[in-house]
């Protein structure tokens, strides 16, 4: 089943999403990879305000490549989410409602997603050029010195993802697999 959602995420919209469903996201999302997350954690530990308000937002674990002339953005594929596991809890506590990446998350992190009623989405790895076609605008909003790992605000239209973990704790990576006979 396919669904469409808009950002910012609201409880009413995300409580209808179930693990395994294909979803198309429209609105603003933010990129943040390892280095941006480390800066977020430094800022939080210093009890300072983050450079972007993540309440009800989605972070896309992505470091887009530079845009070729005439393009909005270069390739924009997901990076491995587990690298952000230890830094996810504090962002969820600040109101983050979604993350997009690839691969499984640690069980402890999944419990945090459930506790904060947030969603973990997966995007197709290796399809960064294709995913970039759903990005309609891109601008650096924090940490420009990090280059591709800077925080970008992306305006996406029908950005294709799958719900990997819903707010109820369901997990597509733990579903029973049907084997061919």
pLDDT digits (tens, 9 = 90+) for 63-73: 999 999 999 99
**What pLDDT score was predicted for residue 175?**
63
**What pLDDT score was predicted for residue 153?**
98
Split at pLDDT 50, 70, 90, the class of 12 is confident
Q: In Å, how far from its chain's centre is CA 26?
A: 13
Strand partners, 120: 99, 165
Query: Which is it for the CA torsion 173, 178, 180, 181, positive or negative?
Result: positive
Q: Which residue among 9, 31, 37, 164 is the active-site one? A: 37
Q: What's the pLDDT tens digit per position in 112-170? A: 999 999 999 999 988 999 999 999 999 999 999 999 999 999 999 999 999 999 999 99
> Whole-structure pTM over 0.85, yes or no?
yes
Cβ atoms of 103 and 122 within 8 Å: the answer is: yes
pLDDT exceeds cutoff 90 at 11: no
Using a pLDDT cut of 70, give the percent of the chain over it: 96
**What pLDDT score was predicted for residue 126?**
85
**What pLDDT score was predicted for residue 174?**
83
**Alpha helix ranges (H) inside 64-106:** 85-93
- The answer to whether 37 is a known catalytic residue is yes
Cβ atoms of 102 and 79 within 8 Å: the answer is: yes
Split at pLDDT 50, 70, 90, the class of 181 is very low
Quick one: CA torsion of 101, 140, 151, 172, rounded to 10 degrees? -20
**What pLDDT score was predicted for residue 13?**
84
pLDDT exceeds cutoff 70 at 24: yes
pLDDT exceeds cutoff 70 at 48: yes
Q: Torsion-angle region of residue 14: left (phi > 0), alpha (psi -120 to 50) or beta?
A: alpha
List, in order of start, the domains of the chain with CATH numbers: 2-168 (3.20.130.10)
């Amino acid at each position: 089943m396919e669904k469409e959602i808009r950002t910012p995420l609201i409880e009413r919209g995300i409580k209808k999403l179930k693990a395994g469903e294909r979803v198309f996201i429209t609105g603003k999302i933010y990129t943040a990879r390892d280095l941006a997350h480390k800066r977020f954690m430094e800022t939080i530990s210093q009890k300072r305000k983050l450079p972007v308000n993540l309440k009800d937002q989605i972070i896309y674990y992505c470091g887009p490549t530079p845009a070729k002339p005439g393009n909005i953005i270069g390739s924009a594929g997901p990076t491995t989410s587990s690298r952000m596991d230890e830094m996810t809890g504090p962002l969820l506590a600040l109101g983050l409602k979604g993350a997009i990446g690839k691969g499984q998350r640690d069980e402890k992190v999944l419990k945090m997603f459930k506790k904060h009623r947030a969603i973990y989405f997966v995007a197709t790895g290796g399809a960064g050029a294709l995913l970039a076609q759903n990005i309609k605008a891109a601008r650096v909003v924090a940490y420009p010195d990090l280059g591709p790992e800077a925080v970008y605000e992306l305006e996406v239209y029908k950005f294709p993802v799958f719900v990997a973990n819903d707010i109820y704790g369901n997990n597509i990576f733990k579903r029973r697999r049907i084997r061919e006979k």
